[in-house]
Amino acid sequence: MAHRVDIKETGEQFWVEPQESILQAARRQGVRIHSDCEFGGCGTCRIQVTRGQVCYEDDCLPMSIADEEHEQGHAAACQARLTGDIEISLASHMDVLPQAQQLTARVHSVERACQGIWRLVLQLPADVAVDFRPGQYLNILFEDGRARSFSMANADARSGRLELHVREVEGGRFTQARLPGLQAGEELRLELPLGLFYWRERDWRPMVMVATGTGIAPIKAILESLLDNDDCPPVSLYWGMNRPEDLYLAQEIESWADRLCEFRFVPVLSHADERWDGARGYVQQQVCRDVPDLSEHAIYLCGSPVMIEQARALFKEHGADERFMYADAFNFQADAPAVEASAA
């Protein structure tokens, strides 16, 4: 039998059939729940179950939901099933976001940012208006319907260009097979904007921003949008990389010091030699060493799923409130159809 879902914020209801996920049922009945990967890895479709409970196939929690979060009522709508009626909060899905569109852009330039990472700049059509929230991502679309997803690293499209930071993936269909040979003027089909990773102005809490690898790209976009903004809250940025030569944006980030509120930049290296006198180890652990009480902070996490999963658990031990933690996990897949991970 079907089970009822009550939406706390609006009083609306929809019904979930047996063997149907909450996301599938919501989409079928016109209820908006944002989603990306739809295999439980990214966390975009997270909802809060405020009455009742959900279950998962084979009792296996998806990667984006930790045991403790499941007990607290957090759920991945793309995987969650029902055995009874529930109530959910869709507060994180209520923001009005720019409508996604498809368009054809041309390659402006391709250059290495550092070993294993490329900077790809795309030129948008002059007659197409493009709007997005800094921090969102786009899909590069292939003719067979497959896609690769990359965060946009600039704050807006007023220049007519979009900047992507692309990490090479071993055997990657785009990152290794096509990207190195792209030439200026070549066309790429895009879908944008997508995703729920963006600055929540309403929080007005000191921000701790944590990135690994090319997870710095959407955070760069967010912080560029806050430069010289009198309403910018205090910002601490932690960026985890392997070696000093991997910090391809360090000089630019350091130049923001006088243009952001109480800005602190902490690069954290995992494989630095004895010449490095900065922070070492795992970036999430460095955050807790520097900020042992995270109860009053808004936290933005972007990068590897492992880092994000560990950071969520660790930060909550240090007082972080789940309601003010926002994440964009870069999941790498070999060749799944439709939407793919954020850097393949």
| Per-residue pLDDT tens digits for 238-263 | 999 999 999 999 999 999 999 999 99
Highest mean pLDDT among 91-100, 219-228, 313-322 belongs to: 219-228
User: How confident is the model over 97-147, as pLDDT tens digits?
Assistant: 888 999 999 999 999 999 999 999 999 999 999 999 999 999 999 988 888
Residues 85 and 162 in one domain: no
Higher-pLDDT residue of 202, 216: 216
Task: Give the end of a domain, one of 194, 226, 259.
Answer: 194
Give the CATH number for residue 77: 3.10.20.30
Residues 78 and 150 in one domain: no
The structure's pTM equals: 0.81
Whether residue 336 has pLDDT greater than 80: no
Task: Give the end of a domain, one of 171, 194, 217.
Answer: 194
Between strands 137-141 and 147-151, the pairing is antiparallel
Whether residue 73 has pLDDT greater than 50: yes
Per cent of the chain over pLDDT 70 is 96
- Among the ranges given (99-103, 132-136, 187-191, 338-342), the one the predictor scored with the smallest mean pLDDT: 338-342
Whether residue 317 has pLDDT greater than 80: yes
- Number of folded domains that form the chain: 3
Higher-pLDDT residue of 318, 176: 318
User: How confident is the model over 26-35, as pLDDT tens digits?
Assistant: 999 989 898 8
Quote the domain boundaries for residue 115: 101-194
Task: Give the end of a domain, one of 139, 164, 194.
Answer: 194
Whether residue 297 has pLDDT greater than 80: yes
Whether residue 338 has pLDDT greater than 70: no
50 closest CA partner among 20, 11, 108: 11
Residues 284 and 248 in one domain: yes
pLDDT at residue 32 in the model: 86
User: How confident is the model over 148-168, as pLDDT tens digits?
Assistant: 999 999 999 999 999 999 999
Distances (CA, A) of 41 to 1, 278, 342: 28, 32, 11
In the beta sheet, which residues pair with residue 3? Answer: 16
337, part of any domain = no
152 closest CA partner among 88, 209, 216, 217: 217
341, part of any domain = no
∠ Cα 243 244 250 (to 5°) = 130
81 closest CA partner among 14, 7, 6, 17: 17
Residues 53 and 157 in one domain: no
260, part of any domain = yes
What is the pLDDT confidence band of residue 10, given thresholds at 50, 70 and 90?
A: confident
Query: Which of left, alpha, beta for 316 (phi over 0: left; psi -120 to 50: alpha)?
Result: alpha
344, part of any domain = no
8, part of any domain = yes
Whether residue 333 has pLDDT greater than 60: no
Residues 227 and 280 in one domain: yes
Structure tokens at 270: 């995992």
pLDDT at residue 334 in the model: 40
Residues 227 and 172 in one domain: no
Residues 52 and 87 in one domain: yes
**332 backbone dihedrals φ, ψ, rounded to 5°:** -105, 125
Whether 124 and 317 have beta carbons less than 8 Å apart is answered as no
What is the pLDDT confidence band of residue 209, given thresholds at 50, 70 and 90?
A: very high
Residues 325 and 230 in one domain: yes
pLDDT at residue 331 in the model: 58
Average per-residue pLDDT in the chain? Answer: 91
Residues 206 and 174 in one domain: no
Residues 50 and 75 in one domain: yes
Residues 188 and 224 in one domain: no
- Indicate if the alpha-carbon torsion angle 321, 322, 327, 329 is positive or negative: positive
Residues 6+ apart with CB under 8 A from 111: 118, 119
pLDDT at residue 164 in the model: 98
Residues 150 and 30 in one domain: no
